[in-house]
Structure 1
Amino acid sequence: MNHQDVPPKPASPPTAGLPKVPAKNPAAQNHAAGRNPAPAPPPASVTWSRPLPEPEQPPSRRVRPGTQRTLWKVLFGVVLVAVVGGLVWLAMWLNSGAGSEEARGNPGVLETSATPRATPLPLPREGVQPGEYALGDCFADFDPEALASRMVPCDTAHSAQLVAVFRYPDSEAYPGAEALKAKALEACQAAKLGPAANEYQLNFQRSFPSSTSWDSGDRRVDCYVTAPGGNVINASVLP
């Protein structure tokens, strides 16, 4: 044997090549050794807390079907009373408004019915003045600006007929030409015509007093139907 091939005897056992074993828990070691573990030291202070009780929920109120129907009926009744009351109030307000307007300065009498007839017979009559005209009178060769007219029976040839009259009260002050024109237009719009009016070509024509005739006592505004073709009407155009 070659002594150079024999390694020298180590002075201490080698440690570099040995595996490292982790140190065991002392408690586990004690348990493994059959010894009781040492008790853990008590905490410095202990705080005990009790769980708070859950807040009580108010009992839910459920509306029974019968009660719900009653509530709807009551609500419907309240709304119905409010609507009816509003309509009654509106009607009273409109009536009071119309009456107050008439009392404020628009009084007068509107005539649209020719019954009974005011103009005496016999006809025809010549030189009838405008103040003598009556609702329903018929005129031949009519001129609304003339101081006199020829009044004829309505079943004979004529060119105009008085179909509406508005009379102001005697105490009324002169309202002016524009107001009189507007009132004459209202009278024409309120005129009631009969079936015979559909057989002729007719126009509305207005007549109202001047300031001079008003001072003389003329308080009427007249509305006529006139035929542009002359004396071609042979019947009354009123109902």
Structure 2
Amino acid sequence: PPDVPARTSRLAIAALVTGVLGLVLLAVGFAIAALLRAGGRGEKGKGLAIGGLVASSVWIVGGLAAVIVAAGSVTSVDRDESGQVAGEDRVVLEYLRAGDCFTGFEEETTKILVTALPCARPHDGEVVAKLKLPGDEYPGDREIAEQTDEACFQKSLHLQRSRYIKDLEPYNLWPDRTGWDAGDREVICLVRYTGGTLTTSIGQTLDPSLKLWDELVPGDCLGKWDEEEIAQRTVSCTEPHWIQVYANFKLQAGSYPGEKAAERGARRGCEQRAARLFRGHRAPDLTWWLYPEKIEWEDGNRTAVCFGESQDRPLTKSMLPR
């Protein structure tokens, strides 16, 4: 009998069609089945099956390229020559730098994917600092949260001088156990503006009359010390005031000596300076001093500040001898 013409495998046709349409999983399955059955049944279509595999590979390569491009677009932002954000880019939060502004806060937290933009455009978030925690072993969930809060508090202290301090809320991000075990030690310190939106960096909102205790210098005059505020407001010494800084100095370098030893060093230094400064002149009614706590000391702060205070009436001129 005459030879029966070989039929074209329907599986091979299906492999080519689904491969061209980008249905990769179906195309690969049809192509493999067609190739396995082609020899046993005398069916044609081996070329079609291979074509389906080739078409699928094109889709796979294109998909990978799209993923790479997309990943690249959320791990970097457009910056000008000075390094400032120049456009509006969706970006994973951890790829922002200290000083970058963004939007993306939700009611109680922040999204991982945010929109970075120049600080002159309306925004509600800013990266205050990025730092790395020390240690090899994971310290535990509570301990790492406490370490992060302490470190970010120190890095954010200068924001206490902002005109908008009442509307600023800190948000800190730290690695979980999985990230820590993979080598991630990075902490991100953020601040959220809750008063609407800002159109400037928070650093531009600092009030020069407000100072942290270790920023005060000899001659600075203040009203009554406000125990509820971290930054104190300085005033002209010709205006009514109660307190004046008469000296500041650095405590002896070295490891943290303990709270009592730090206090003794500050007291001794301030009393010696007061004795010299006010010899032959009226001394303040009260003298007292401030000195760094352990976390401040370990961050490099060795400053002691000496204060003179009037107890019964406000002053309208400097208490420092000329």
TM-score, normalising length from structure 1?
A: 0.43
Query: Looking at both structures, which has the greater relative contact order when contacts are Cα pairs under 8 Å and sequence separation is at least 6?
Result: 1
TM-score, normalising length from structure 2?
A: 0.33
The structure with the greater share of residues assigned to strand is: 2
The structure with the greater share of residues assigned to helix is: 2
